[in-house]
Chains A and B, each alone.
Chain A
Amino acid sequence: MLLVLAIIVLVGLFAYFKFYRPAPGPKLPPPSGDELSIHVLDAGQGDAILIVAPGGKTALVDASVPGSGKKILAALARYGVDHIDLLIATHPHADHIGAADEVIKGTTVKTVLDSKVPNTTKNYEDFLEAIEDKGVQYVGAEPGQTFDLSSGVIISVLAPIQPLFTKDQLRSGGNEPNANSVVTRLDYGEFSIMLTGDAEVQTEARMMEGGSRLAATVLKVGHHGSKYASSEDFLRQGKFKAAVISCGADNRYGHPSQEVLDRLRAANVRIYRTDLQGEITIKTRGKEDYQITTEREAPADAIATGRKAQKDDSAKSGFIQYGDFGPAPKASPKAKAANNSSR
């Protein structure tokens, strides 16, 4: 009898520690009770999320596509923001750091948090050069770091987790910058939001295995709603009440995918989309109640309907025929110099 009881207790303890024990995290300060606002900007097929803490401290998570700097700076002006305390560059793709150099040049940025996963694009080089030119503090992301925005607002880094993912560990077509995205969570009293960059299922799995604190009020859906992100397990552990998908109305990548929308709906998560509803604003005073408002309304069936990825029809003429192409390129000074020296 005693042996049976001991086994039951042991099984119970195992189950508690494996499945229910709250993941360890930083000791969180109490919320000031004043309003925190989070603006998921409608900046095309890219992420740009402005966070304004009650005491006036600010963070910007990503800076969308090249050329969207004006739009982002206009949003800062609209909300009376004259500086960014923390710019989080989740990863070095152009739909996340595209206008980061424009933002750094156009306002005062105090600290940049970077995944430190390198990319060899002009875009990423320009971003690093802007950091150097403006003397911005540059921090490489590591799990366990916390950024205190005062008034009880804390941003904690959950990923990238070392050792970083390498190409051979990823699905076909997957890439290291996405898999090693900076994933953070913001806590303010009883409110929290997960900010996942372009992290996909393998990153979610690693965070779950590592016991990261994933339960949050709101999810910024990973990789613009790609079918390769937001697994059922992740959504179950996250217990999210609402999800925001940041994507462009004209994207041809199939974002958001029907699969992810279905998974979110099955998990009873309320969905918001920048491509259909424009800018999405979340406001909270740190209690369980929070408000989400959108720039415009969209029918529920449209919100629940995904996009299809465009397929290669290069047998005819390919995507280029569709003309996703701006004015003729003027060579950058660097490219001109390279060309001259190679002639």
Chain B
Amino acid sequence: MAGKKHSQKTSAGDEVRAVVDRIEDGDIAVLGLDDEAKTQLDVPLARLPKGANSDGDHLILKFAVDAKSGERKLKSIKAAPAAARADASDRVKKMQARLARMSGAEDKKDFKV
């Protein structure tokens, strides 16, 4: 991936929601974009806004799209409203609890798969 350039011709999607999936060695933040392809984007950690630079933080990315080449360049990274993270966290925890309840496997130790 490093060194590879994509020049998809399009003018779509100049603002995209993203979540900090993880911070990797070398202080690289890996962002998961809320697009169909679940694109992952590596960004230097120092470029993330203060207060939105940890795993699970929600962001809004803005891109400039070159009309001719279709190439996109990241213009800005903003923190998404705090409610975005809280809502997602709430949804995920509810879903986990529901799935665990449905499975009926709580407290079970030995599984014959």
Give A residues with C-beta under 8 Å from B: 57, 59, 65-67, 85-86, 93-95, 98, 110-111, 114, 116, 118-126, 128-129, 131-132, 137-140, 142, 144-150, 167, 173, 175-178, 226-228, 248, 250, 252-255, 257, 309-312, 314, 318-320, 322-332, 334-335, 338
Contacts and interface: CB of A to CB of B under 8 A. Distances in A.
A122 B31 CA distance: 11
A122 B19 CA distance: 8
A309 B60 CA distance: 26
B1 A331 contact: no
A290 B63 CA distance: 52
A98 B34 CA distance: 13
B25 A122 contact: no
A326 B8 CA distance: 8
A68 to B, nearest CB: 11
A137 B17 contact: no
Nearest to B44: A312
Contacts, number: 228
Query: How many residues of B sit at the interface, in one of the four size bands?
Result: 35 or more
Contacts of A132: 95, 98-99
Given A147-B111, A177-B22, A324-B42, A331 B34 contact: yes
B41 A125 contact: no
B33 to A, nearest CB: 6
Nearest to A124: B92
Given A126-B38, A325-B39, 11 more contacts: A65-B40, A86-B111, A94-B21, A98-B40, A121-B19, A145-B109, A146-B109, A175-B54, A318-B47, A319-B43, A330-B13
A144 B12 CA distance: 50
B12 A147 contact: no
Contacts of B16: 329, 331
11 contacts: A59-B113, A94-B38, A120-B19, A121-B88, A122-B32, A142-B109, A167-B54, A324-B4, A324-B42, A330-B12, A338-B17
A318 B44 contact: yes
